[in-house]
Structure 1
Amino acid sequence: MDKLRRVLSGQDDEEQGLTTQVLDSSSLSFSTRVKWFAICFACGILCSILGTVMLWLPGSGMKLFAVFYTLGNISALASTCFLMGPMKQLKKMFEPTRLLATLVMLFSFILTLCAVFWWHKKGLAVLFCILQFLAMTWYSLSYIPYARDAVMKCFTSCLS
């Protein structure tokens, strides 16, 4: 359990530079970090669900859907900063194993909002929200050992 706490709080055994240590350090206790992670993650899920409900509203429902769904995903992604710290989170996001999923996810956030506010294309907004979901799922699976391999095997077995 102590090793899990060290990993989640960002206290790995590897040595870090002084700047990284200063930026990653926090006065929050482990239980406080877990509580804020849960709160931020729950708010993200709530925003995503609220956005999905807004989809069915006439008029500006599509805009509200895109904004709330995107904010929900950003909040859920940001919640992990409470567990491992913002600098470590950013480093892990842009590791080679997660780089493609991270880029697709970030561009989907931006393109969803562009589709709704500038291009006024509802179909594109829904498509980019689906891409957000898929990219977030693929990104999340990268933290579980062999999860991506299991998903790929499942898809290939279902298709053949």
Structure 2
Amino acid sequence: MDSIKSLLGNNEQPKEDQSVWEEINNQCSLSWTQRLIGFGISAGLGLFFSFLAFLFLASPTSFAFLYTVGNICMLLATGFIVGPVKQFKNMMQPTRAICAIVFVLSMILTLVAVFSGWSFILIIFLIIFQVCALLYYIFSYIPYGRECLRGICGSVVSV
């Protein structure tokens, strides 16, 4: 069949199958201006929800929900800048994969706790765990950042 198509002038080469990551990357291609606008909107929403969360500090359930939504928006904001595929690959690098997985799981567990009506004490624990996971994840991007954070936490705990 290919020889008949080539005789008729159809010299198209069959396209190679793209990987899932290449397809996602092609679908998510934005101009630099669009990336900055998306980043600005997502980061602005993330900051707004995080600020709003601190207004509801007396209500652990509301605080946990708003703080988690703020973290998700900030994570999406960085995805606009570097692209979703590159961000996922950065998160899954061997040096920070555990940090990223723990951070994402802490956000998921916090949302499950909020919507399932778990006890306030457990929600407060999950908020603290999420803050610690976020710090550890952020410090994973700084050279020797996690070692410095461990040293700081170790000196605070030993006091």
Q: Give your verdict on TM over 0.5.
A: yes
Structure 1 counterpart of 2:80, one-letter code: F
How many percent identity over aligned positions?
36
The alignment of Structure 1 onto Structure 2 pairs a total of residues equal to 140
Which residue in the other structure is 1:13 paired with?
A: none
CA RMSD, Structure 1 to Structure 2 (Å): 2.4
Give unmatched runs, 5+ long, in structure 2: 1-16
Pairwise CA distance, 1:40: 0.8
Cα distance in 1 between the residues matched to 2:147 and 2:36? 29
TM-score by length of 2: 0.73
Give unmatched runs, 5+ long, in structure 1: 1-16
Query: Which protein shows a greater Rg?
Result: 2
Which residue in the other structure is 2:88 paired with?
A: 90
Cα distance in 1 between the residues matched to 2:128 and 2:75? 16
Structure 2 counterpart of 1:68, one-letter code: L
Pairwise CA distance, 1:87: 1.6
The alpha-carbon distance between structure 1 residues 68 and 149, as it changes in their structure 2 partners (threshold 3 A), is same
The alpha-carbon distance between structure 1 residues 128 and 156, as it changes in their structure 2 partners (threshold 3 A), is closer
The alpha-carbon distance between structure 1 residues 68 and 32, as it changes in their structure 2 partners (threshold 3 A), is same
Which residue in the other structure is 2:104 paired with?
A: 106
Cα distance in 2 between the residues matched to 1:55 and 1:76? 20
Pairwise CA distance, 1:88: 1.7
Q: How does 1:29-48 map to 2 (within 5 A)?
A: 29-48=31-50
The alpha-carbon distance between structure 1 residues 121 and 144, as it changes in their structure 2 partners (threshold 3 A), is same
TM-score by length of 1: 0.73
